[in-house]
Amino acid sequence: MGNERGQLMKKGRLLATLLAVMLVTAMLAGCVSINMKVNSNGSCDVTYVIDTSQLNGMMNKSDIEKQAKDSIDKMNESAGKKIAKLKSIKEDKKKQTITAIISVSDINKMGSGTYFGTVKNYKKKFGGTGLDNLMDRKGKEVNEKKVSDNLDVVYLPMSGSEDYGLVEITVVVPGDIQYVSDGAEIKKGNAVLFTSETPLVVFKKGGGIPWLLILALVLIVYLVLRRKKPATTDSIITTPIMPQAPIATQVPVPAVPQEKLEQPEHEPLPAEEIKAIEGENHNDEGPQV
């Protein structure tokens, strides 16, 4: 085991050289911070921030850019293919910093000893180096046997980096950190700060959607649905409709001839007929007692 670790430390020096050759002068001054953002596919973006106020004119932006390209060429040559490229290099004269970003397509090809993958495969490939020196999120020591094989791990051996004056290495992983190598400081759920020389992070890949984002999405959906929801009968104010009197229907009346409307004039009865009628009425009354 000791011989194996010695070989890993030796290989780690190669990685440190590949990562830092462009910044040797700056590192000697102890004025560099490195941020490594690990992606879920095993690639990463390495950001170097150099404090130019500490360089005393020893390096400028052009010098660092040239060193960066040389560093990338050596890394690609060591990997046997192109895995790294310079994404950007910028100088902020106000803050007195130079920031260089290098993109690497495969952490496992960065140098001998680097690893990205499951804990199970890490144990097979490297014998689980460093898993016996872990602490959890609360800073408590962790039994190696309790580290699940289904978790993922990033291992970046930087042995020899102390020779270059590296002070800070921040590693950001694509998930929730479960365990880190002893001496590291967990800054938040997926970021950890190392001042030691062997960054090792065990994490649960794909930590899920942050609960604040879920809450925001639920609120948005609620507001959209509420805006589209039709008004209920309770919320509608109606004006009572007063009944109206029925409208009379005019029925046409047929015209009556004028001659029918006029009453005929009757001639008076003769006196004889009147007496005869009165006599008949008298007889109908019967005998009087």
Residue-wise pLDDT for 95-152, tens only, equals: 989 999 999 999 998 876 889 999 999 999 999 999 999 999 999 999 999 999 999 9
The two tokens of residue 196 are 């030691």
All structural domains of the chain with their residue ranges: 2-211
Read off the pLDDT of residues 247-260 as tens digits, 9 standing for 90 and up: 554 545 555 555 55
Q: How many residues in total does the chain contain?
A: 289
Looking at residue 285, the DSSP 8-state letter turns out to be T
CB atoms within 10 A of CB 34: 22
Do β-strands 134-136 and 168-172 pair in parallel, antiparallel, or remain unpaired?
unpaired
Q: What are phi and psi of 105, to 5 degrees?
A: -80, -25
Confidence (pTM): 0.63
